[in-house]
Amino acid sequence: MRIDVVTIFPGYLAPLREALLGRAIGSGLLDVAVHDLRDWTHDVHQAVDDSPYGGGPGMVMRPQVWGDALDAVLAADERPARLVVPTPAGRPFTQADAHAYAAEERLVFACGRYEGIDQRVVDHYADALPVDEISIGDYVLVGGEVAVLVVVEAVARLLPGVLGNPRSAAEDSFSDGLLEGPSYTRPEVWRDRPVPDVLRSGNHGAIARWRRDRALERTVARRPDLLAALPPDALDKKDRAL
Ligand SMILES: CN1CCN(Cc2ccc(Cn3ccc4ccc(-c5n[nH]c(N)c5C#N)cc43)cc2)CC1
């Protein structure tokens, strides 16, 4: 998979080259190119923004610069691409999106700043390729770069060979529609707090039941919306007895 990121703060994307993602890049599983939007400005001030039509606070990113940048970036590789534009007004990014994006040959991310990117940029490219305006959560950031780091990590970990243990991705939180329950490791007792006996029992059936119960409890307490979204047959009689 090839990933391109266009931003006015290339340094913000440096973490992409660390740790797991850095190894994925090094092993050729992932090809990442970060582009400075200002490389496509032509004025001495390298202006990328201007005042909003209709008034209002802040500035809006100019379509011309974005058009020149995205034309050049898209033309640099013949693989079909999906353009992903993080925005507070975007559709919520989900684990299902991460799986869908992991199947793409190429993702191009447009990182906005200020009050966002002139809408005509999204409208223009939507005539030529799939374009997603996504949000990583109901809180307000200052730009799209952090969202790109989140999305790229969520996607890259699903690529074959990136995670040391492929079972991790297969048994993700949300993969069965529930939150993950608590995890424990050595020592058996830490500051007078023991590991739950069932986890040391060797009784795999009882362990699976215990883990499912804890996942259900946590989901009820923290994300009742996930329960409501489960298909009718997702909970068995024992689940409902909890
Ligand atoms: C008067 N009001 C009119 C509405 N604006 C709304 C607004 C517009 C842009 C920005 C800053 N920004 C610029 C590009 C960009 C991309 C993503 C995100 C982002 N934030 N939160 C997420 N989950 C994000 C994601 N993914 C923020 C971004 C902040 C707030 C505020 C002022």
pTM for the whole structure = 0.94
pLDDT in tens, 105-115: 999 999 999 99
Residue 170: per-residue pLDDT: 64
Output the pLDDT for position 186: 98
Residue at 153: amino acid letter: E
pLDDT for position 165: 74
Residue nearest to atom 5 of ligand 1 (CA): 115
Catalytic residue among 2, 38, 62, 157: 157
Check if 157 is active-site: yes
Residue 175: its pLDDT value, please? Answer: 64
The Cα-based distances of 8 to 41, 46, 143, 147, 200 in angstroms read 11, 10, 10, 14, 52
Q: What is the pLDDT of residue 168?
A: 66
Residue identifier of the C-alpha nearest atom 9 of ligand 1: 115
Confidence (pLDDT) at 135: 98
ipTM of the complex: 0.96
pLDDT of residue 236: 87
- pLDDT score for 197: 98
189 close to ligand 1 (CB < 6 Angstrom)? no
Note the pLDDT of residue 222.
97
User: Does 172 qualify as catalytic in the annotation?
Assistant: yes
Whether ligand 1 lies within 6 angstroms of the CB of 92 is answered as no
Residue 144 C-alpha to ligand 1 middle, in angstroms?
A: 8
- Give the number of residues written for the chain: 242
Nearest CA to ligand 1 atom 15: 143
pLDDT tens for 163-180 read 977 666 666 665 688 999
Q: What does the DSSP 8-state code read for residue 93? A: P
Residues of the chain with pLDDT under 70: 166-175
Beta strands in the chain (DSSP E): 2-7, 31-36, 49-50, 60-61, 82-92, 106-110, 131-135, 189-190, 193-194
d(CA 187, CA 184): 9
pLDDT at 167: 67
Instruction: Assess whether the C-beta atom of 87 lies below 6 angstroms from ligand 1.
Output: yes
